[in-house]
Structure 1
């Protein structure tokens, strides 16, 4: 429609008529002619609207269901995450208790040796450092850790620090083939050197080829000059085999380490050495030997016979009280019957 003078007059006329109808509808209320017309229109078009609504409602319900299903799925996923977190928390209780017990044991070991230690957690194993038996701990120079410090746990010697960064450090384990530590036997104080053999027992060479050593004997670290890299008195292991000496100047032992290198978790780095050598004080009390039960056999004398002190029954005596011929005992005179 082009913008002409007639079109403008028509638009103004329609607006005036609309306002007039609105005014009449408001003033007339429910009895106005327009209200009657609306009711008539509702009666005519109501069934059509209901039919259209009935046809459209399933589609609307489906769309609402899809929308709600997304909300339900999100809620279900949230509940599953909460459930998993709860299970993880409940499952970690045992691990938390185990770590607390391990930490307590390590603190007792450090206290027995008067070692000043810095606690750390093992966060990685060997792969980052090649094929060596090493672990990475979450303590570094910012925590006062330096190269060539002794590392221990509640069981004994773990290893020594080799490289350090600001927040981490690498520990060479005592079972690494490149690891060597001076040792001293419990009680006898025989000196030697322990070398790692991977997943096999430690190999210890005693300086005295004639040293008397037996299975079950234990040893600790001898210590180093200025207590680097090893402080004295840290438990090393227990002898499980003594190799024949064959006249050699040294004596070779196979030693089972006290530490389980495949299950390290909490460790302590000795940042302050003891003022004096603790000797064997850090070793746990030796296991008590179980007494060997002694069997005592008691033989009761049978009817008509007796038992000698050795437990062998002697043949019955005859009426005169004498033993048959061949017996080695002299019969006592029997009492005279009155």
Structure 2
């Protein structure tokens, strides 16, 4: 298209419409007027994302790369294929071991919190339906997933379900600027609200402006009414910085999340809330402090006797 005055005006108009839609969507929250369009997009693009995820599987690509490369230099090609196959197998085994560990950790968290979960895989980062910190997972309405369900993994709180398609769902991550969750401090039970800040620590406003809090304190989810969107007791993170108390009604602390949002793979959607608040039982055990080594000085009898003899000789010389 030629760069004409009409084309430039059209481009400006399209950009203005896009920003208007973004603003309306963010301000609308759960009642956003574009929710229907988002649902339709999830229905259309979800199966495509799922299929693309399978197509670009690294193990599958590695196996495809081992195909016969022709008759020339057969011996070298055979060795290269063997080497590539071994590397592919090793890579697959490493990935499987990593995913098995993630699954084991998630099952442990679910067991300790008594959460009924539906396991899922992250198949896309950043949704086509919006402009937020999101991931797409490979379970949807057909699997019993509904909007405003808690999502966790073996480390703690991942986010909440925002959009559900037939086969996939969109998860708003806990580090998104529009994400807010009620929190409770381990031990002291101080309540607050954590908000995402992208790639920076979560910002938590404690309701008690004089709350005694220090670096290293840990937080869990407080839980929502009817357990939606958040069930109680899910680990959130560790306090990394505390703002000085200014005598206000609230106090601000910054929390490093337990979850690494840039390396999500296996997650679980909480489809059944616990009958009883697990409180702090889901938090991982704190590392034991390293004991300070004790220095012991041992004096042998022979050395003590020699020292005594030397002192007596010096004394006799002085007398002379």
Provide the TM-score with structure 1 as the length reference: 0.65
Match of 1:97 in 2: 97
Q: CA deviation at 1:297?
A: 7.2
Q: How many Å separate the matches in 2 of 1:71 and 1:89?
A: 23
Q: CA deviation at 1:281?
A: 0.7
Match of 2:214 in 1: 214
1:152–1:319: structure 2 CA closer, same or farther, 3 Å change rule? same
Secondary structure in 2 matching 1:100: helix
Q: How many Å separate the matches in 2 of 1:161 and 1:317?
A: 92
Higher Rg of the two aligned structures? 1
Match of 1:286 in 2: 286
Q: Is residue 2:71 matched to residue 1:72?
A: yes
Q: How many Å separate the matches in 2 of 1:146 and 1:193?
A: 24
Q: How many positions carry a matched residue from both structures?
A: 241
Superimposed CA distance per residue, residues 180-210 of structure 1 (whole angstroms, 9 cap, x where no aligned partner): 0000000110000001110011111110111
1:88–1:206: structure 2 CA closer, same or farther, 3 Å change rule? same
Q: How many Å separate the matches in 2 of 1:71 and 1:124?
A: 36
Match of 1:266 in 2: 266
Superimposed CA distance per residue, residues 159-187 of structure 1 (whole angstroms, 9 cap, x where no aligned partner): 00000000000000000110000000001
Q: How many Å separate the matches in 2 of 1:71 and 1:121?
A: 37
1:121–1:71: structure 2 CA closer, same or farther, 3 Å change rule? closer
Match of 1:108 in 2: 108
Unaligned runs of 5+ in 1: 1-69, 306-315, 321-338
Q: CA deviation at 1:72?
A: 3.5
Q: How many Å separate the matches in 1 of 2:70 and 2:95?
A: 36
Q: How many Å separate the matches in 1 of 2:250 and 2:70?
A: 77
Q: CA deviation at 1:71?
A: 7.8
Q: Is residue 2:224 matched to residue 1:224?
A: yes
Superimposed CA distance per residue, residues 248-292 of structure 1 (whole angstroms, 9 cap, x where no aligned partner): 111111111000000000000000000010000100111112233
Match of 1:186 in 2: 186
Choose 202-211 or 283-292, whichever is displaced more. Answer: 283-292
Match of 1:170 in 2: 170
Moved over 6 A (4+): 78-83, 296-302, 316-320
Q: How many Å separate the matches in 1 of 2:167 and 2:152?
A: 19
Q: Is residue 2:150 matched to residue 1:157?
A: no
Match of 1:277 in 2: 277
Q: Is residue 2:203 matched to residue 1:203?
A: yes
Unaligned runs of 5+ in 2: 1-68
Q: How many Å separate the matches in 2 of 1:81 and 1:288?
A: 48
1:86–1:180: structure 2 CA closer, same or farther, 3 Å change rule? same
Q: How many Å separate the matches in 2 of 1:318 and 1:192?
A: 80
Q: How many Å separate the matches in 1 of 2:294 and 2:97?
A: 43
CA contact (8 A) 2:127 2:170 kept: no
Map residues 120-139 of structure 1 onto 2, 5 A cutoff: 120-126=120-126, 128-139=128-139
Map residues 75-90 of structure 1 onto 2, 5 A cutoff: 84=84, 87-90=87-90
Q: CA deviation at 1:129?
A: 3.9
Q: How many Å separate the matches in 2 of 1:91 and 1:119?
A: 23
Match of 2:250 in 1: 250
